[in-house]
């Protein structure tokens, strides 16, 4: 099969590395060039005529929207997939109006990127679940809009309220703000679905989450009183099951199982689940205990086989700054 030639455009070098590493999992994708600003993107697009362009919105010199406007003229056959920290609908609407086929919010790129690329290459539109004004009812939180032969669009049918249907996900966030926003949405959706939530994060993240949830009119004090919101300090959690810098599986399952059982009792209805979000593995990785971090991800996978739960683990992308981090990144990501 002929290679699919890809141009990657992002001004943040660690995130470009993440994109290239992720695309490298698909041998048919060939990265022909990288660019770090809008003008470079336009120049390389005209010169190389790539099949696919992964384009950041917030670029220096010339922003991604304006770059795309020029690229559509200079390289009309190139398919454009936007990646952005922006989770507002204005940027996404403008992107699609320019003829882009996909829009991925960077906070969700760890889960969505390869799916988005696949759909865009099939001439289908991809809309990130990170867009707060879109509500998805399918199992992947994705909404595809197929292009018919006559050029019209046919939105997929989405009739249910948003709900958590995931089992164990690993998300890679570009910064603390994106981390908090991603966790807050996970928690908010879970609580509105009548589920109980267990949050295992640092003190600073715990405070930021509470503030953001309150801004979204989520009554956390009432949830705490009902017993449907459990907040656990990540260092205290780690201290319960870590032995000689490695997790003890027996203790891990006992501690986690007790928490999950208590949370399940507080769920609003029989069909409710328990949602768990935390950063045990990321904290271990930050401490240089990479093997322990991978083992924790493996134990979380096993938890989903024992209990009816959804797990979200959050890593910060800006921690992966060395060449050898790519291998660590791939190991952790493979534990999804």
Tens of pLDDT, residues 48-62: 999 999 999 989 888
Cβ atoms < 10 Å from Cβ of 158: 14
Residue 253 has pLDDT above 90, yes or no: yes
Average pLDDT for 254-282: 84
Q: What is the 3-state secondary structure (H, E, C) of 65-81?
A: HHHHHHHHHHCCCCEEE
Between residues 198 and 1, which one has the greater pLDDT? 198
pLDDT number for residue 23? 93
d(CA 187, CA 162): 12
User: What φ, ψ does residue 230 adopt, rounded to 5°?
Assistant: -110, 125
User: What φ, ψ does residue 261 adopt, rounded to 5°?
Assistant: -60, -45
d(CA 33, CA 53): 10
Average pLDDT for 296-301: 89
Between residues 112 and 276, which one has the greater pLDDT? 276
Residue 10 has pLDDT above 50, yes or no: yes
Average pLDDT for 83-112: 83
**Could you tell me the pTM of the whole model?**
0.55
Q: What is the pLDDT of residues 207-252, one digit of tens each?
A: 999 998 988 888 888 888 888 899 999 999 999 999 999 999 999 9
- The conformational region for residue 194 under phi > 0 = left, psi -120 to 50 = alpha, else beta, is left
Residue 275 contacts residue 195 (beta carbons within 8 Å): yes
Mean pLDDT lowest among 35-44, 95-104, 136-145, 319-328: 136-145
Residue 99 has pLDDT above 50, yes or no: yes
User: What φ, ψ does residue 179 adopt, rounded to 5°?
Assistant: -60, -50
d(CA 34, CA 63): 16
Cβ atoms < 10 Å from Cβ of 201: 25
Mean pLDDT lowest among 36-40, 94-98, 256-260: 94-98
Distances (CA, A) of 170 to 188, 277, 280, 296, 336: 18, 10, 12, 12, 6
Q: What is the pLDDT of residues 129-153, one digit of tens each?
A: 877 664 333 323 233 333 333 333 3
Domain segments of the chain as ranges: 4-155, 168-333
Smallest CA-to-CA distance from 51 within 106, 98, 114, 120 is with 120
Average pLDDT for 117-129: 89
Thinking of the domain 4-155, which architecture would CATH place it in? 3-Layer(aba) Sandwich (3.40)
Smallest CA-to-CA distance from 137 within 163, 105, 169, 167 is with 163
Percent of the chain clearing pLDDT 70 (strictly above): 81
Residue 32 contacts residue 48 (beta carbons within 8 Å): yes
Q: Do domains 4-155 and 168-333 have the same CATH topology?
A: yes
Q: 3-state class of 31 per DSSP?
A: strand
d(CA 302, CA 315): 20
Residue 29 contacts residue 18 (beta carbons within 8 Å): no
Place of tokens 């609580």: 191
Place of tokens 């609003």: 268
User: The domain 168-333 belongs to what CATH superfamily?
Assistant: P-loop containing nucleotide triphosphate hydrolases (3.40.50.300)
């Amino acid at each position: 099969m002929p290679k699919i030639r890809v141009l990657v455009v992002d001004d943040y070098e660690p995130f470009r590395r993440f994109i290239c590493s992720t695309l490298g999992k698909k041998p048919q994708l060939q990265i022909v060039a990288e660019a770090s600003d809008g003008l470079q993107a336009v120049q390389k697009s005209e010169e190389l005529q790539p099949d696919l362009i992964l384009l950041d919105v917030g670029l220096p010199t010339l922003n991604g929207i304006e770059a795309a406007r020029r690229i559509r003229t200079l390289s009309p056959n190139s398919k454009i997939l936007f990646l952005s920290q922006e989770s507002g609908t204005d940027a996404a609407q403008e992107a699609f109006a320019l003829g882009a086929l996909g829009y991925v919010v960077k906070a969700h790129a760890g889960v969505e990127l390869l799916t988005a690329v696949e759909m865009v290459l099939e001439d289908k539109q991809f809309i990130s679940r990170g867009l707060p004004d879109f509500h998805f009812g399918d199992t992947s939180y994705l909404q595809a809009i197929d292009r018919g032969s006559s050029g019209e669009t046919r939105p997929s049918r989405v009739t249910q309220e948003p709900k958590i249907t995931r089992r164990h996900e690993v998300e890679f966030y570009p910064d603390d703000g994106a981390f908090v926003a991603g966790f807050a949405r996970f928690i908010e959706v879970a609580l509105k679905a009548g589920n109980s939530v267990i949050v295992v994060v640092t003190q600073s993240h715990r405070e930021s989450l509470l503030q953001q949830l309150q801004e979204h009119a989520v009554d956390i004090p009432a949830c705490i009183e009902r017993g449907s919101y459990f907040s656990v300090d990540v260092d205290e959690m780690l201290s319960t099951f870590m032995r000689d810098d490695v997790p003890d599986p027996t203790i891990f399952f006992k501690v986690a199982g007790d928490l999950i059982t208590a949370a399940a009792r507080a769920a609003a209805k029989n069909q409710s689940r328990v949602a768990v979000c935390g950063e045990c593995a990321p904290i271990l990785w930050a401490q240089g205990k990479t093997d322990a971090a991978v083992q924790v991800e493996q134990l979380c996978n096993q938890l989903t086989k024992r209990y009816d739960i959804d797990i979200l683990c959050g890593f910060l992308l800006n921690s992966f700054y060395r060449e050898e981090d790519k291998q660590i990144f791939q190991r952790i990501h493979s534990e999804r």
